[in-house]
Structure 1
């Protein structure tokens, strides 16, 4: 009798701690961090995130990325957390960070005033590593493996193949007689 009661008590404590683990930042299906919601205007959601301590993660600071379409409007209004927007449906991806945690916010809309949140997830932007000298030399070695041989070598190989074929044909003819 004591074991089931202890088991129920343990389950209750676990469920309670999971429910309140994030405090006011806990997420559920309807609301995300800082209380943002699906279909909420991006401007409003961004304001809530910043007020709750989420910082926009600057994405294209040194990669010479050229903004186009709705990306230009967002960049002009200092939405530097913008990663990219699709051309066909105006879906955009923005990133935020807070105390080592990352947040990806996806939106849809053709203009900033029409953009709404479609989803969010705990995801960090892809960080491409800086190439070093060793990587460059390895890449060159790899390229050498797949580069075609010079024409003179191709000619020499074809001549050798012809000789081998002639020898082989001679051997076959000799065996038949």
Structure 2
């Protein structure tokens, strides 16, 4: 599923971005932060993986995406553990 579509659905269903402090954003993380997507924890370089965190009440949701541009990110994995 495309990340930006999933993000819209999550927010519409009560999940809130859980912004974590990122020390030195690089690559796609800079683009995402400039778009106001503050829940990005980090993005790797090379093979692009990005991690995002959300909260709904006491529940946590972590999402990992793959892709090189914000518009191209697709969800690769998710979990319900809190960082």
The TM-score range, normalised by the shorter chain, is over 0.9
Please give the residue correspondences for 1:9-158 in structure 2 after superposition, counting only pairs within 5 Å: 40-60=1-21, 65-125=23-83
- 1:41 deviates by 0.8
Unaligned ranges ≥5, structure 1: 1-39, 126-177
Which string of whole-angstrom CA distances, capped at 9 and with x for unpartnered residues, describes residues 73-120 of structure 1? 011011111111111211000000001100001100100111000111
Distance in structure 2 (CA, Å) of the matches to 1:102 and 1:83 = 14
Point out which structure has higher relative CO (alpha carbons under 8 A, 6+ apart).
2
Distance in structure 2 (CA, Å) of the matches to 1:56 and 1:123 = 15
Q: Is the Cα contact below 8 Å between 2:19 and 2:39 reproduced in 1?
A: yes
Aligned length: 83
- For normalisation by structure 1, the TM-score amounts to 0.46
Larger proportion of strand:
2
Rg larger for: 1
- For normalisation by structure 2, the TM-score amounts to 0.95
Unaligned ranges ≥5, structure 2: none
Larger proportion of helix:
1
Moved over 3 A (4+): none
Distance in structure 2 (CA, Å) of the matches to 1:90 and 1:123 = 22
